Structure 1
């Protein structure tokens, strides 16, 4: 395993091999019969739904990872083969590459007859044909191809693009009427609103489908002045405001929408955030009067409690939550305990605590209380009591953010008590139960696995095998085909046209929307949408998330791998572990190349301009021509500085990463005051919560990239899950 983990180059797996039978080959009759059987099977499969299994059989999809120049010869070989789904894909992809290089005649030769052979992408083949004719200056033929889309496929999302490109008013009217969720339609709408801003139905299209686009709040503000909106239209406006964090305006709009539990809660919350206390209280009280059994009513009671002064008057609200809303009882009990502690009501505190850890022991608040006591016991070196308080968190609160942390420290405390076998079992348990966590990595280190530790992780150069794009779990087969072929613009337009449920997406839709954000370079939004799926609280949605989270495609989407070539190159130059660099970039910027902090730290690795100017002469760069928004330059400067922090601390990555966040002065101070014998103790006692969390998050990222993209570690983690079959189903 050591040799595999320390390979000196990062390799890319491009998937299945090319078709064995190419043009010009001579076949015997039995061979031909065998091949024709495979061909007929492939054609049958073309009409079936794309799955991860039949995706893996394609020789074309892996080529999407390569540049057009790298894949050209392989695509040409496939084009010469017998008719098959992959031959059609190769023709389409090669034609698209040729059009990008303005080689229109060659592209037209590939596209000729493909509409019939490749019905899944038929309207897009016509659009590609029109694009090729445009390059040749044959406008009439280009127009004919677009008109053919409208004639043959008038309801297909590709028709929206044809209508947009034709551009005449009557065609734009059709686009608005038939395809309001298509981004090209939004462009038409915006241009019309520039001419005449007071067009309510056009404004509502942007409010419903483009509320997360720049300039949407100004459109909403104009709609707010319109007294003729219907309740369902007010709800569209309100939700759009809410998604843009305009909570006061959202509350005003929700007040004119239908009275639902969600809408009433958002009225109260919007007013509360805006400082309108009395109005907020009235809204929360109305919610509890009209919909007393709902989860929103329970949350409203909690909000009423936190707004009530003096705090002792909040107890009736909290008692209502405890008795009527068990899912929120833990939060209410914790708030009640704090009030009773302030009143020095020891008996009341003890009764509430007993209720918290018994009847509501599976809540996050129960986990927080258990962990607080466990830490206090450990600090007093009563490791037996610490073990006893923390252990239930692992089984009673498996969904708690504290569960993997508690599990790891149960192992550490078991070791101190001489229970080495118990410690080993609980470390294995953490890896199997919480494989995504920072503490799974710390458990793997403690078990002696070759996954890198704080003192040697920079030197490792793990083999990295990025998988192909996953098959999206929502959307049409046409959309999935476009996406897997790397036709990102058309796939995006197709998806957005299909995605009618944008304000309340299903689990599958939200995951797919995250994937599509990646294709548009919106990596931060994509990661955020995919990560937030774990917050779904409706039972059926939680079940859907749990099923999705068992698939590697979910975790690889949550930990994507943009800028691999740049990371690989500069990591090699600085002799840094490329996965550690990737982990830091994910934490610093979520792979957004132009993002800036309040301190003006810029780009992927959040390099300060002054720091870059200091580094520039040391790497022979012109300090006047620094472009930190350029991914390659940013990684060049950022990896130099990461190498510098490593050199400052004897290549200890724990201290180097802490210094990257908090600065060398603070780390030097901590080395004088914090426990140094045990790095885990050091991390837990870092006095800056931001830096403590930063260290855990960066190394948690590192571990996830290692377990997801390194075949050897992925296999080992899977073995630990197999040891605990009751846990591997989670």
Structure 2
């Protein structure tokens, strides 16, 4: 019997004879192993703790101690033993086998929690490996029984759990469940658990159950005072404003203004401005109108900004110039022209007069009066040379005029002068880029290197920095400065995945190190990894803590445990207004799982630029089986279809543009009719994802045919149409793919191509079977 028990242990865990690398087995170690095989973990733990004190280097004893503590105390105590071992000896066979066994145990638990049948939990609970998992299984069973209408059984289980458990997390859940039946006593939960991460959930649920009373306002004040989370504070400010909107409008205005001022990127900002104008307009002072105008302008609400500033009726030159800018942006051209002309009359020879003169020249350019615009700009430069800002603004506008006149060389000359005059001006980095690119197109490679190296400080820290450095390396390649180019590429290759030039640098570095062709968009498709879409559970949490360099009892806060238990609705109530990146990441996963890819993408693509943990939620793998099936029909990489869908529609099946383009890949109704005729489709619905993907992929293949398999030109054609792309192909036929992409004449299409291919490369990196 003993030999069979020991064999069972050896096959799943550790054994003295398992590897010559293990230490020889002492009688106490054998005794501990036999006790573990008999599931007498507490007795084994006593022996193993003694062994560890006697021989701290005995990895087998330490690993078995972690294993025992898992069954006697739970996952976190086990981690206290195993995490240092994992950091110290990650390749140790005893350590690896122990960890694998425990992960398998937690994976079984995760599968159990996902099982919709309550019976599986009832079977598991009596044989649960430890109190930690047992109490959580009991809680999930309680929730399932309650949801199924089995109230008596649920109440009985809750009472039993309340008597048995000493787990603080489960006690909090039971407390809240009990108090939820007594609305008048709900606030007591806040006193009982002052440090719980569930407090935001409790606050919101208490507030949602109350009217907009002074008591609710007071609760909001306490809520805001106790939190240091900026995202949560913004949500509370919004709620405070809403609660006071009817009875205390001036107070509400103060809350709303604070929110707009302190949280300029808040997603409700635009709607809040409309609310203030509609419901609080009569309470606005001149300062309020000025503030609201700036807030609207910062959010690209140009007509609103112009209207608010008109209401403020500025009389000083700074305010009038601002009004002119807002009016021009809002396309109120008469008002803009009148305002700028008034500044020239009332405040001649001032900075604002010079800037107004530049704006008037710009409006002449918009009316195609190019010669008149150039004449006024030159005069402005001459008259306001003592104002550097006016001088450089005039140069910038002059360059735009030359661009409309297709005089690229003159534009480059003007912009070189701009950079030389004031390398710190607002437009310096963009002006330098235009000058550098024209120099590159003229074949002056050495001059490209000279300009970029001379003016490094102009673009350092600017969003254009990676573009400058990439083309510096390309120029260095052409000049046979191979080592310098490799060094630059290697640095850029470590950049963020949402940067187009990170991917381009990786490819150029591959070509330089290994040879072969530059695969701009021709990587062979080797399949995808669907398992990467699995929601994380307790097993993933355990693995993550093992890989961490630190360990704390606070590693699994209550809010995170809600997620792992599958209480996603409650978790979302907390995570939505949290600055915690991990919680936000999990919220994004849940949005995607619910099919709300649009909100996940539009919210988390900006976060992904700052933290790549958000890439999987900003780039979901939705409807990919259909994309794969359709793309492979035409020998295309399905990730290119995914990247194009990401850019076109952010995966919103029923999205429709103002011109009528519909669905995932944004197909125009007229184009759809042509595609349907070619595909033999009589009835179709562009808002059906699979239908839209079929038609869009067919159309993308047709653009590939037009441009002989050139994916870059095919994608450009998908956006701009074949005609313009054929012209660009003829004009820049001598250029490599990356330079041709940089030379696309339409700014929108140039940006579109880069974004599509960046998304394509990200999908390949995240989900491709060949991804490293």
TM-score of the aligned structures, taking structure 1 as reference length:
0.63
Q: Any idea what the Cα deviations from partners look like across 1:93-140, whole Å, max 9, x if unmatched?
A: 66666766767677667765379656457666566x58xxxxxxxxxx
Structure 2 partner of 1:491: 571
Q: Any idea what the Cα deviations from partners look like across 1:387-434, whole Å, max 9, x if unmatched?
A: 332345668634334333333333333333344444434333331356
Inter-CA distance 385–565: structure 2 relative to 1 (3 Å threshold): closer
Q: Could you tell me how far apart the structure 2 residues matched to 1:95 and 1:617 are? A: 56
User: Pick from 608, 612, 623: which aligns with 1:552?
Assistant: 612
User: Pick from 219, 225, 250: which aligns with 2:275?
Assistant: 219
Determine if the alignment matches structure 1 residue 26 to structure 2 residue 52. no
Structure 2 partner of 1:698: 756
Q: Any idea what the Cα deviations from partners look like across 1:443-482, whole Å, max 9, x if unmatched?
A: 33332379992463364435474686799xxxx9555554
- SS at 1:143's partner residue? coil
Inter-CA distance 620–554: structure 2 relative to 1 (3 Å threshold): same
Structure 1 partner of 2:201: 158
Inter-CA distance 221–584: structure 2 relative to 1 (3 Å threshold): same
Determine if the alignment matches structure 1 residue 591 to structure 2 residue 634. no
Whether contact under 8 Å (1:514, 1:529) holds in the other structure is no
Q: Could you tell me how far apart the structure 1 residues matched to 2:606 and 2:700 are? A: 30
Inter-CA distance 244–693: structure 2 relative to 1 (3 Å threshold): closer
Whether contact under 8 Å (2:138, 2:157) holds in the other structure is yes
User: Pick from 518, 522, 547: which aligns with 1:456?
Assistant: 522
Per the TM alignment, residue 699 of structure 1 is displaced from its structure 2 partner at its CA by: 0.9
Structure 1 partner of 2:490: 428
Inter-CA distance 226–606: structure 2 relative to 1 (3 Å threshold): same
Q: Any idea what the Cα deviations from partners look like across 1:209-252, whole Å, max 9, x if unmatched?
A: 79828975563234444338897899689857965822135447
Whether contact under 8 Å (2:309, 2:323) holds in the other structure is yes
Structure 2 partner of 1:538: none
Determine if the alignment matches structure 1 residue 685 to structure 2 residue 757. no
Structure 1 partner of 2:219: 178
Aligned ranges 1:241-256 → 2 under 5 Å: 243=299, 245=301, 246-251=304-309
Structure 2 partner of 1:3: none
Per the TM alignment, residue 382 of structure 1 is displaced from its structure 2 partner at its CA by: 2.7
Q: Could you tell me how far apart the structure 2 residues matched to 1:616 and 1:207 are? A: 52
Name the stretch that deviates more: 704-713 or 101-110.
101-110
Q: Could you tell me how far apart the structure 1 residues matched to 2:289 and 2:215 are? A: 22
User: Pick from 574, 579, 582: which aligns with 2:642?
Assistant: 582
Determine if the alignment matches structure 1 residue 386 to structure 2 residue 448. yes
Whether contact under 8 Å (2:175, 2:189) holds in the other structure is no
Structure 1 partner of 2:181: 143
Structure 2 partner of 1:606: 666
User: Pick from 608, 628, 637: which aligns with 1:571?
Assistant: 628
Aligned ranges 1:229-268 → 2 under 5 Å: 239=295, 243=299, 245=301, 246-251=304-309
Whether contact under 8 Å (2:396, 2:427) holds in the other structure is no
Q: Could you tell me how far apart the structure 1 residues matched to 2:38 and 2:444 are? A: 77
Determine if the alignment matches structure 1 residue 657 to structure 2 residue 737. no
Per the TM alignment, residue 700 of structure 1 is displaced from its structure 2 partner at its CA by: 1.5
Q: Could you tell me how far apart the structure 2 residues matched to 1:456 and 1:590 are? A: 23
- SS at 1:680's partner residue? helix
Q: Could you tell me how far apart the structure 1 residues matched to 2:341 and 2:460 are? A: 37
Q: Could you tell me how far apart the structure 2 residues matched to 1:480 and 1:366 are? A: 47
Q: Could you tell me how far apart the structure 2 residues matched to 1:61 and 1:215 are? A: 44
Aligned ranges 1:313-352 → 2 under 5 Å: 313=380, 335=396
Whether contact under 8 Å (1:19, 1:78) holds in the other structure is no
Q: Could you tell me how far apart the structure 2 residues matched to 1:527 and 1:318 are? A: 47
Q: Could you tell me how far apart the structure 2 residues matched to 1:282 and 1:574 are? A: 57
- SS at 1:687's partner residue? coil
Q: Any idea what the Cα deviations from partners look like across 1:483-511, whole Å, max 9, x if unmatched?
A: 66665543343356x67xxxxxxxx5899
Name the stretch that deviates more: 422-431 or 61-70.
61-70
Q: Could you tell me how far apart the structure 1 residues matched to 2:585 and 2:394 are? A: 36
TM-score of the aligned structures, taking structure 2 as reference length:
0.60
Q: Any idea what the Cα deviations from partners look like across 1:282-318, whole Å, max 9, x if unmatched?
A: 9999xxxxxxxxxxxx9x9996675477555578888
Q: Is there any run of 5+ residues in structure 2 with no aligned partner, and where?
A: 1-11, 15-32, 47-64, 81-85, 88-99, 222-232, 260-265, 345-350, 362-375, 404-411, 542-555
Whether contact under 8 Å (1:60, 1:89) holds in the other structure is no
Structure 1 partner of 2:97: none
Aligned ranges 1:702-713 → 2 under 5 Å: 702-708=760-766, 713=771
Structure 1 partner of 2:24: none
Aligned ranges 1:127-142 → 2 under 5 Å: 129=177
Whether contact under 8 Å (1:445, 1:451) holds in the other structure is no
Q: Could you tell me how far apart the structure 2 residues matched to 1:528 and 1:444 are? A: 27
Name the stretch that deviates more: 569-578 or 483-492.
483-492
- The structure whose RCO (Cα within 8 Å, separation 6+) is larger is 1
Aligned ranges 1:409-558 → 2 under 5 Å: 409-433=471-495, 436-446=498-508, 447-448=510-511, 453-454=519-520, 456-457=522-523, 459-463=525-529, 465=532, 477-482=557-562, 487-495=567-575, 508=579, 549=610, 551-556=611-616
- SS at 1:153's partner residue? helix
Q: Could you tell me how far apart the structure 1 residues matched to 2:153 and 2:588 are? A: 32
Name the stretch that deviates more: 395-404 or 37-46.
37-46
Name the stretch that deviates more: 407-416 or 451-460.
451-460
Structure 2 partner of 1:400: 462
Inter-CA distance 619–185: structure 2 relative to 1 (3 Å threshold): farther
Inter-CA distance 591–148: structure 2 relative to 1 (3 Å threshold): farther
Q: Any idea what the Cα deviations from partners look like across 1:58-94, whole Å, max 9, x if unmatched?
A: 9879999999448999988986534566665555566
Per the TM alignment, residue 680 of structure 1 is displaced from its structure 2 partner at its CA by: 2.6
- SS at 1:157's partner residue? helix
Whether contact under 8 Å (2:337, 2:360) holds in the other structure is no
Per the TM alignment, residue 370 of structure 1 is displaced from its structure 2 partner at its CA by: 4.0
Whether contact under 8 Å (2:642, 2:760) holds in the other structure is yes
Whether contact under 8 Å (2:433, 2:468) holds in the other structure is yes
- SS at 1:599's partner residue? coil
Q: Could you tell me how far apart the structure 2 residues matched to 1:650 and 1:480 are? A: 51
Structure 1 partner of 2:5: none
Q: Could you tell me how far apart the structure 2 residues matched to 1:525 and 1:320 are? A: 46
Inter-CA distance 377–189: structure 2 relative to 1 (3 Å threshold): closer
Inter-CA distance 117–240: structure 2 relative to 1 (3 Å threshold): farther
- SS at 1:683's partner residue? helix
Whether contact under 8 Å (1:454, 1:652) holds in the other structure is no
Whether contact under 8 Å (1:593, 1:631) holds in the other structure is yes
Structure 2 partner of 1:137: none
Whether contact under 8 Å (2:647, 2:755) holds in the other structure is yes
